[in-house]
């Protein structure tokens, strides 16, 4: 009788454990299914992408207005005004460059406004010509934001503007081309694509969610490689390549790098420029029981941004005076790649499909 009672109690304990285990698993699964990717895309599309594209367009309109004033009165003060407007617009471009899919991809926006370094010989040839096609592939590295780094910051820049109407007109044409293309992108988001974006939650390579993850990683690699690794010699056996520095003459390369990385962290967290909290990749990782990965990515992003903030000189000056600091920054940017490019997409069930030469 005692033996049967013991068996009975064992059965009850085992049964209770099984029920408890099932309940725990059910609760965990319920937590996972509660997360809606549509909410994530809605937040990023509505509160990050559209407002930031609209701000870029406003910045370009401001640049155009100041440039027209400068054309009428070519003074040092007015030149400085267009430089200031250009810097603001260029920084905002670094915030929206991660959204190179949908309307931006259709427009070829990155090639139209974001190519660097500039082909200065080609720019000079264009400014001396009576006609040119700014939409041709051959002029891709003679237009966009980077072209103004040369036009406005070359030695005796004011003299070139003052002495040549074709030189001055070229700058206006480049601005208006950028403004036209950004306008097309903004209109597409406002009329149809935002609705498409918010509902495209699948993991197939053509879904908006998958495209966002891919462009997120691609943008980080551009920041890591083109904006840092190549200039400091990480891709050329230690030989420094200052001619590849983004915005070399204006010396705002590190500012642009900071904006780039900062915008990626905002997208990761789903937070707006003003600091309003929203649903982002971090929340999805937590819902998938990958909270440790989410915390690690945020910690690494913050460490990268802190290192950039510690660099008080221009990138070219830092290359000559503080190469160790740049090496440490590059190492931190390299170390986060596995988390961003492998661990996070794998958790989301997204395949990285773009081709790169990163070597990681």
Residues 81 and 137 in one domain: yes
pLDDT digits (tens, 9 = 90+) for 291-324: 999 999 999 999 999 999 999 999 999 999 999 9
Residues 72 and 178 in one domain: yes
Residues 231 and 155 in one domain: no
Is the pLDDT higher at 342 or at 357?
342
Residues 159 and 292 in one domain: no
pLDDT at 337: 98
pLDDT at 34: 78
pLDDT at 256: 98
* Burial class of residue 176 in the structure, from the number of CB atoms within 10 Å of its CB (0-12 exposed, 13-18 middle, 19+ buried): middle
Residues 266 and 316 in one domain: yes
Among candidate residues 128, 155, 190, the one where a domain is terminated? 190
pLDDT at 96: 97
pLDDT digits (tens, 9 = 90+) for 170-220: 999 999 999 999 999 999 999 999 999 999 999 999 999 999 999 999 999
Is the pLDDT higher at 279 or at 10?
279
Give domain status of residue 206, yes or no.
yes
pLDDT at 10: 42
Among candidate residues 165, 190, 215, the one where a domain is terminated? 190
**Contact status, residue 117 vs residue 85, Cβ threshold 8 Å:** no
Residues 109 and 58 in one domain: yes
Is the pLDDT higher at 239 or at 34?
239
Give domain status of residue 279, yes or no.
yes
Task: Measure Cα distances from 259 to 88, 92, 127, 145 in Å.
Answer: 11, 8, 31, 15
CA distance 186 to 183: 5
Give domain status of residue 337, yes or no.
yes
Residues 156 and 298 in one domain: no
CA angle 141, 134, 81 (to 5 degrees): 75
Dihedral of alpha carbons 333, 338, 343, 346, sign: positive
pLDDT digits (tens, 9 = 90+) for 149-166: 999 999 999 999 999 999
Give domain status of residue 276, yes or no.
yes
CA distance 313 to 64: 29
Give domain status of residue 360, yes or no.
no
Farthest-apart Cα atoms in the chain, separation: 111
Residues 149 and 210 in one domain: no
How long is the chain?
Answer: 360
Among candidate residues 147, 169, 190, the one where a domain is terminated? 190
Write down the residue that tokens 């100041």 correspond to.
66
CA distance 160 to 167: 7
pLDDT digits (tens, 9 = 90+) for 113-128: 999 999 999 999 999 9
> How large is the average pLDDT for residues 54-59?
98
Give domain status of residue 281, yes or no.
yes
> How large is the average pLDDT for residues 252-264?
98
CA angle 157, 159, 162 (to 5 degrees): 115
Give domain status of residue 125, yes or no.
yes
CATH code for the domain in which residue 291 is found: 1.20.1420.20
List of residues 6+ apart from 100 with CB closer than 8 A? 109, 110, 215, 218, 219
Residues 218 and 105 in one domain: no
Residues 53 and 173 in one domain: yes
Residues 210 and 323 in one domain: yes
Total of domains in the chain:
2
Indicate whether 268 pLDDT > 50: yes
Task: Measure Cα distances from 21 to 14, 28, 32 in Å.
Answer: 10, 11, 17
By residue range, what is the domain housing residue 304? Answer: 200-351
pLDDT digits (tens, 9 = 90+) for 84-120: 999 999 999 999 999 999 999 999 999 999 999 999 9
* Average pLDDT score over the chain: 91
**Contact status, residue 55 vs residue 274, Cβ threshold 8 Å:** no
Token pair belonging to 279: 């649903």
CA distance 7 to 19: 18
pLDDT digits (tens, 9 = 90+) for 19-42: 344 433 333 344 444 799 999 999
Is the pLDDT higher at 316 or at 5?
316
pLDDT over 70, % of the chain: 89
Task: Measure Cα distances from 240 to 116, 232, 251, 328 in Å.
Answer: 17, 5, 17, 16
Give domain status of residue 32, yes or no.
no
Residues 158 and 261 in one domain: no
């Amino acid at each position: 009788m005692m033996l049967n009672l013991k068996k009975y109690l064992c059965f009850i304990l085992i049964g209770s454990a099984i029920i408890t285990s099932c309940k725990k698993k059910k609760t965990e699964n319920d937590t996972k299914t509660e997360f809606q990717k549509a909410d994530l895309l809605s937040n990023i599309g509505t509160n990050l992408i559209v407002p930031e594209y609209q701000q870029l367009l406003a910045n370009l309109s401001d640049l155009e207005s100041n440039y027209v004033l400068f054309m009428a009165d070519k003074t040092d003060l007015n030149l400085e005004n267009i430089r200031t407007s250009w810097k603001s617009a260029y920084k905002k471009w670094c915030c929206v460059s991660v959204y190179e899919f949908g309307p931006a991809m259709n427009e070829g926006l990155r090639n139209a406004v974001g190519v660097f370094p500039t082909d200065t010989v080609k720019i000079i040839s264009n400014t001396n010509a009576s006609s040119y096609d700014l939409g041709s592939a051959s002029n891709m590295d003679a237009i966009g934001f980077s072209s103004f780094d040369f036009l406005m910051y070359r030695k005796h820049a004011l003299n070139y503007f003052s002495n040549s109407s074709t030189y001055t007109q070229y700058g206006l044409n480049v601005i208006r081309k950028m403004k036209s293309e950004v306008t097309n992108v903004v209109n597409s988001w406002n009329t149809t694509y935002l609705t498409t974006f918010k509902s495209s939650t699948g993991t197939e390579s053509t879904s908006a969610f998958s495209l966002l993850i891919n462009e997120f990683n691609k943008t980080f690699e551009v920041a890591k490689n083109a904006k840092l690794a190549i200039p400091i010699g990480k891709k050329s056996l230690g030989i420094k390549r200052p001619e590849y520095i983004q915005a070399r003459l204006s010396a705002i390369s590190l500012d642009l790098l900071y904006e780039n990385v900062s915008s990626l962290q905002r997208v990761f967290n789903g937070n707006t420029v003003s600091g309003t909290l929203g649903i982002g990749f971090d929340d999805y990782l937590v819902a998938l029981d990958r909270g440790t990965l989410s915390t690690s990515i945020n910690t690494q992003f913050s460490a990268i941004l802190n290192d950039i903030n510690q660099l008080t000189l221009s990138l070219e000056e830092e290359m000559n005076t503080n190469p160790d600091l740049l090496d440490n920054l590059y190492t931190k940017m390299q170390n986060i790649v596995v988390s961003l490019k492998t661990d996070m997409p794998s958790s989301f069930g997204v395949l990285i499909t773009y081709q790169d030469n990163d070597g990681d």
